[in-house]
A and B are shown apart, each in its own frame.
Chain A
Amino acid sequence: MTEPRVSGASGGATHKDVVCPFCGLGCDDVTLKVDGTAVEAGEGACGRAAALFRRGPEAAPSPRVNGREASLDAAIAAAAELLAGARSPAYAGLAADVDGVRAVLKLAAATGGSVDHYATPGMYRNLATSQRKGWIATTFAEVRNHCDLFVVIGPDPAKAFHQLYARVTPKTGRFLDGARKFVFLGGAPSDEAKAQLEGSAVETIAVSDGALVEAVSRLQALVSGATPPAGEPDLAPLAEALKAAKYPVLAWSASSLDEDGDIVIERAVAVVDVLNREGRAACLPLSGKDNLTGAYHASLWTTGFPLRVGFRGGVSEHDQLAYSTETAAKDADILVWTSAFRPEKPPASDAQLIAIAHPATEFEREPDVFIPVGQPGLDHAGLVFRADSTVGLWAKGYRDAGLKSVADIVKRIAEARP
Chain B
Amino acid sequence: MSAVRITNGKVLDPANGEAGVARDVVIVDGRVASADAVTGAVETIDAKGGIVMAGGIDIHSHIAGGKSNIARLLMSEEQRAIREPDGPFCGCGGGLSTMTAHATGCRYAEMGYTAVFEPAMVAANARHMHAEMADIPFLDTGGYLVLGNDDHLLDLMQAGASQAQVNDYVAWMLNATKTMAIKIVNPGGINAFKFNQRKMDLDETNPRYGVTPRKILTSLIKAVTELGLAHPIHLHGCNLGVPGNDATTLATIAAAEGLPLHLTHVQFHSYGTEGDKKFSSGAAAIAEAVNKNPNISIDVGQVMFGQTVTASADLMSQYRNSPFASPKRWIGMDMEMDAACGIVPFEYKEKSFVNALQWAIGLELFLLVEDPWRIFLTTDHPNGGPFTTYPHLIKLLMDRSFREEQFAKLAKSARKHSNLLEIKREYTLEEIAIVTRAAPAKILGFTDRGHLGAGAIGDAVVYREDADREAMFSRAAYVLKDGKVIVREGEIVDLVYGRTHQVTPDYDKSIEAKMDRWFDETIGYKASTFKVSDDEIRGGQGSVKHATARAS
Contacts and interface: CB of A to CB of B under 8 A. Distances in A.
A328 to B, nearest CB: 18
B36 to A, nearest CB: 42
Interface in A378-412: 381, 383, 385, 389-394
Contacts of A279: 196
B149 to A, nearest CB: 12
Interface stretch (A140-148, A203-211, A236-244, A344-352): A140-148
B66 interface: yes
Interface string A109-135: 110000000000000000100111111
B529 A109 contact: no
A304 B79 contact: yes
Interface of B: 64, 66, 68-69, 72-74, 76, 79-80, 83-87, 91-95, 98, 100-102, 122, 124-128, 131-132, 135, 151, 193-196, 208, 319, 325, 328-338, 343, 522-526, 528-529, 531-533, 535-536
A138 interface: yes
A287 to B, nearest CB: 14
A315 interface: yes
Contacts of B526: 17, 28-29
Contact of B101 (A134, A144, A302, A393): A302
A246 B196 contact: yes
A279 B196 CA distance: 6
B83 A317 contact: yes
A142 B73 contact: no
Contact of A301 (B135, B333, B533): B135
Given A127-B73, A300-B73, A306-B73, 20 more contacts: A17-B526, A130-B331, A133-B329, A134-B325, A134-B343, A145-B151, A174-B151, A280-B194, A297-B128, A300-B69, A303-B92, A304-B94, A314-B86, A314-B87, A315-B84, A317-B80, A318-B76, A390-B122, A391-B125, A391-B336
A315 B85 contact: yes
Nearest to A140: B524
A1 B92 contact: no
A395 B535 CA distance: 12
Contacts of B334: 136-139, 142, 146, 282
A134 B74 contact: yes
A135 B196 contact: no
Contacts of A1: 528, 531, 533
A127 B100 CA distance: 19
B497 to A, nearest CB: 13
A280 B208 CA distance: 15
A141 B336 contact: yes
A277 to B, nearest CB: 10
Contacts of B100: 301-304
Contact of A311 (B92, B122, B196): B92
Nearest to B103: A304
A131 B208 CA distance: 33
Nearest to A303: B93
16 contacts: A17-B526, A19-B529, A102-B135, A131-B76, A131-B329, A134-B330, A137-B332, A141-B336, A279-B196, A280-B196, A303-B93, A305-B76, A313-B85, A315-B83, A315-B92, A393-B127
A383 B74 contact: no
Which of A306, A314, A383 has its CB near the most chain B CB atoms (within 10 A)? A314
Interface in A169-186: 170, 174-175
Interface in A200-242: none
- Closest 5 CB pairs between A and B? A392-B127, A314-B86, A304-B79, A109-B92, A314-B85
A174 B335 CA distance: 15
A109 B86 contact: yes
A391 B124 contact: yes
Interface string A279-297: 1101000000000000001
Given A300-B72, A304-B100, A390 B79 contact: no
Contacts of A247: 194
A315 B83 CA distance: 7
Contact of B319 (A3, A139, A276): A276
B529 to A, nearest CB: 4
Contacts of B525: 26-28, 391
Given A139-B334, A142-B334, A144-B524, A318 B127 contact: no
Contacts of B193: 280
A98 interface: yes
A106 B271 CA distance: 46
Nearest to A110: B86
Given A302-B102, A304-B94, A139 B124 contact: yes
A170 B521 CA distance: 10
Contact of B528 (A3, A134, A137, A298): A3
A168 interface: yes
Contacts of A246: 195-196
Given A137-B331, A300-B72, A390 B194 contact: no
Contact of A132 (B66, B83, B329): B329
Given A130-B73, A139-B335, A316-B93, A394 B522 contact: no
A68 B172 CA distance: 54
Interface string A87-117: 0000000000010001001000110000000
A146 B194 contact: yes
A304 B92 CA distance: 9
A168 B336 CA distance: 11
A159 interface: no
B92 A131 contact: no
A298 B132 CA distance: 8
Contacts of A280: 193-196
A301 to B, nearest CB: 5
A71 B531 CA distance: 39
A167 interface: yes
Nearest to A28: B529
Contact of A316 (B92, B98, B126): B92
A66 B291 CA distance: 75
A141 B523 contact: yes
Contacts of B151: 145, 174
B399 to A, nearest CB: 34
A282 B333 CA distance: 8
Given A19-B529, A109-B92, A146-B194, A383 B332 contact: no
A300 B531 CA distance: 25
Contacts of A17: 526, 528-529
B178 to A, nearest CB: 12
Contacts of A140: 336, 524
A87 to B, nearest CB: 18
Contacts of A304: 72, 79, 93-95, 98, 100
Contact of A383 (B87, B101, B124, B127): B127
Contact of A136 (B79, B80, B124, B332): B332
Interface in A24-47: 26-29
A297 B74 contact: no
Contacts of B536: 383, 394
Contacts of B531: 1
A400 B147 CA distance: 40
Contact of B72 (A26, A110, A301): A301
Contacts of B84: 315
Interface string A307-344: 00001011111100000000000000000000000000
A390 B69 contact: no
A348 B131 CA distance: 34
A146 B68 CA distance: 26
A390 B66 contact: yes
Nearest to B129: A392
Contacts of B332: 134-137
B100 to A, nearest CB: 5
A112 B74 CA distance: 25
A175 B73 contact: no
Nearest to B315: A136
A102 B131 CA distance: 10
B131 A131 contact: no
A394 B127 contact: yes
Contacts of A130: 73, 331
